[in-house]
Chain A
């Protein structure tokens, strides 16, 4: 795998094909779980683990899986891995496990996982597939963390609420004054939709601005790097 290949995979996962902002996949956990940054980060970490492992498993087996029944086989592989993650969370982060609840087992049906397996791992070698899974997950991680952080800041005035469930020694940060009344809409589903819409608009705006700049100076060699 070349450096170029790696940077393309990373750029695709983190920004260009960001699961939440460009593909807009997996909205169910995104809307339900991001009531604070910690929940979003922890669910994303679980998803990263599942995606990396399922991508490498499918990529290794891709030449042995019959094409006609590939989807059931993919689902079986993903389900087995999710069960492992589910049991790990239950054993080690029990409090958080209770908060995230059904959304950990539901990673099985998360369309991001199946989409990457079908669109990437089934056609590419294991190493690239592993990185694709990881970087797609990282794209999801920062988006969910940002969305969760914005939502809890708006709704509670705090940041990293529930961090004590992961690191018992840490406390949430109270960013806004203690008598902040709390704009509850931020914590409710409509707030998640509105903020996600704003984030998507923000990404599109940045992309449009970058495209306009690239048009103005077309032969610039810097464009080949694929970074802004």
Chain B
């Protein structure tokens, strides 16, 4: 009997195949997002993809790597899509392009390219831009904004003036600001019930975007492309800390469901903390990584100055990932513990 040499892989797990499926898994979320804020999202996806491929090609050329092989692996496109989905959909084109180029050039290639980056490139782009351009990164389209495609393109390309009325805060930001201004007299339940920006559970319409990411993430898990450890730990940590604070003082802390369906929680849980390169690799390590990211994301989101904390939390956990991996090495079968 003839067999191929080990390893005996059951399925083709090439980088480009995995990346294609990750892109597919993002589609439900993207569809809900495009339905919510209009086709601007799709334009941002195109801008980010073009910028990523261009930056990737230039860096590969400079580093003397084969262009075709690395360009077609799709990793740059996944990074670009994650960036486009975390940036405000009506942001000027150069904002998304700057973030993407920074992610590909600095966060990916300066550290050695695919598989070598200690930080998640998409989160580096988000953190860089929110620190560098705080005003533009806070301009989210207001709820129920109806705007023709051409007008949206004009705004993104900078041909039309950026009208302030077009932009509102995210549901998370609106809640933080209202609670701060209300100074103890406004409670969360009142805000959720009376403000137009909120739907049944979280931000109006944003709930469906989060649900879309959840569906895509569960599909990735079902396909065995991601393991359950990091997402479950991330969500569990989020529920644990938000639930505890909510039970302690429901007037000033929103319930766990609100936090799960707001901001970048779902996108982060299934597409960011599951990054095989910048995250942990051991099963126990993934649990610690996910839980740490969830806790930090909640703390930055609720007590920090930025609208959402997922990016900063993931970057901080990226820093600790090598140590976590070192401390959680599984026992090798047949060997004693404590080698």
Q: Is B194 interfacial (CB 8 A cutoff)?
A: no
Interface segment, one of A35-43, A84-92, A133-141, A179-187 = A179-187
List residues of chain A with CB within 8 A of the CB of B128.
185
List residues of chain A with CB within 8 A of the CB of B132.
182-185, 188
Find the residue from A182, A183, A188 having the highest chain B CB count within 10 A: A183
Q: Are A183 and B131 neighbours in the complex by a CB distance under 8 Å?
A: no
List residues of chain A with CB within 8 A of the CB of B98.
183
Q: Is A194 interfacial (CB 8 A cutoff)?
A: yes
Q: Are A184 and B133 neighbours in the complex by a CB distance under 8 Å?
A: yes
List residues of chain B with CB within 8 A of the CB of A182.
132-133
Closest CB in chain B relative to A15 CB, distance in Å? 24
Q: Is B43 interfacial (CB 8 A cutoff)?
A: no
In the complex, how many residue pairs between chain A and chain B have their CB atoms under 8 Å apart? 18
Q: Is B59 interfacial (CB 8 A cutoff)?
A: no
Residue of B nearest to A197 (CB): B110
For residues 165 through 191 of chain A, which have their beta carbon under 8 Å from a beta carbon of chain B?
181-185, 188, 190
Closest CB in chain B relative to A217 CB, distance in Å? 24
Known: A183-B98, A194-B106. A188 touches B136 (CB 8 A): no
List residues of chain B with CB within 8 A of the CB of A181.
133, 136
How many Å lie between the Cα of A194 and that of B134 in the bound state? 20
Secondary structure of the B side of the interface? helix
How many Å lie between the Cα of A190 and that of B128 in the bound state? 9
List residues of chain B with CB within 8 A of the CB of A183.
98, 132-133
Closest CB in chain B relative to A204 CB, distance in Å? 14
Closest CB in chain B relative to A107 CB, distance in Å? 30
List residues of chain A with CB within 8 A of the CB of B131.
184-185, 188, 190
List residues of chain B with CB within 8 A of the CB of A184.
131-134
List residues of chain A with CB within 8 A of the CB of B134.
184
How many Å lie between the Cα of A184 and that of B128 in the bound state? 9
How many Å lie between the Cα of A82 and that of B133 in the bound state? 39
Residue of A nearest to B133 (CB): A181
Closest CB in chain B relative to A197 CB, distance in Å? 8
Residue of B nearest to A186 (CB): B132
For residues 4 through 59 of chain B, which have their beta carbon under 8 Å from a beta carbon of chain A?
none
Residue of B nearest to A198 (CB): B110
Closest CB in chain A relative to B97 CB, distance in Å? 12
How many Å lie between the Cα of A183 and that of B128 in the bound state? 9
Closest CB in chain A relative to B33 CB, distance in Å? 25
Chain B 120-140 interface 0/1 with A at a Cβ cutoff of 8 Å (1 = within): 000000001001111010000
Residue of A nearest to B135 (CB): A181
How many Å lie between the Cα of A182 and that of B98 in the bound state? 12
Residue of B nearest to A179 (CB): B158
List residues of chain A with CB within 8 A of the CB of B106.
194
Closest CB in chain B relative to A180 CB, distance in Å? 11
Closest CB in chain A relative to B139 CB, distance in Å? 13
List residues of chain B with CB within 8 A of the CB of A190.
131
List residues of chain B with CB within 8 A of the CB of A188.
131-132
Closest CB in chain B relative to A5 CB, distance in Å? 39
Chain B 152-194 interface 0/1 with A at a Cβ cutoff of 8 Å (1 = within): 0000000000000000000000000000000000000000000
How many Å lie between the Cα of A182 and that of B134 in the bound state? 11
Closest CB in chain A relative to B167 CB, distance in Å? 16
How many Å lie between the Cα of A193 and that of B46 in the bound state? 31
Residue of A nearest to B106 (CB): A194
Residue of A nearest to B92 (CB): A181
How many Å lie between the Cα of A188 and that of B98 in the bound state? 17
List residues of chain A with CB within 8 A of the CB of B136.
181
List residues of chain B with CB within 8 A of the CB of A194.
106
How many Å lie between the Cα of A190 and that of B119 in the bound state? 14
For residues 52 through 102 of chain A, which have their beta carbon under 8 Å from a beta carbon of chain B?
none
How many Å lie between the Cα of A194 and that of B131 in the bound state? 15
Closest CB in chain A relative to B98 CB, distance in Å? 7
Closest CB in chain A relative to B291 CB, distance in Å? 27
How many Å lie between the Cα of A92 and that of B133 in the bound state? 37
How many Å lie between the Cα of A188 and that of B132 in the bound state? 9
Closest CB in chain A relative to B264 CB, distance in Å? 21
Closest CB in chain A relative to B323 CB, distance in Å? 21
How many Å lie between the Cα of A190 and that of B106 in the bound state? 12
How many Å lie between the Cα of A194 and that of B107 in the bound state? 11
Residue of B nearest to A187 (CB): B132
Residue of A nearest to B94 (CB): A181
Closest CB in chain A relative to B201 CB, distance in Å? 35
Residue of A nearest to B129 (CB): A185
For residues 193 through 215 of chain A, which have their beta carbon under 8 Å from a beta carbon of chain B?
194
Closest CB in chain B relative to A152 CB, distance in Å? 14
Given contacts A181-B133, A184-B131, 7 further A-B contacts (CB under 8 A): A181-B136, A183-B133, A184-B133, A185-B131, A188-B131, A188-B132, A190-B131
- Give 10 CB contacts A-B under 8 Å: A181-B136, A182-B132, A183-B98, A183-B132, A184-B131, A184-B132, A184-B134, A185-B128, A185-B131, A190-B131
**Interface residue ranges, B against A (CB under 8 Å):** 98, 106, 128, 131-134, 136
> What 10 A-B pairs come out closest when comparing CB atoms?
A184-B132, A185-B132, A183-B132, A185-B128, A185-B131, A181-B133, A188-B131, A184-B131, A194-B106, A184-B133
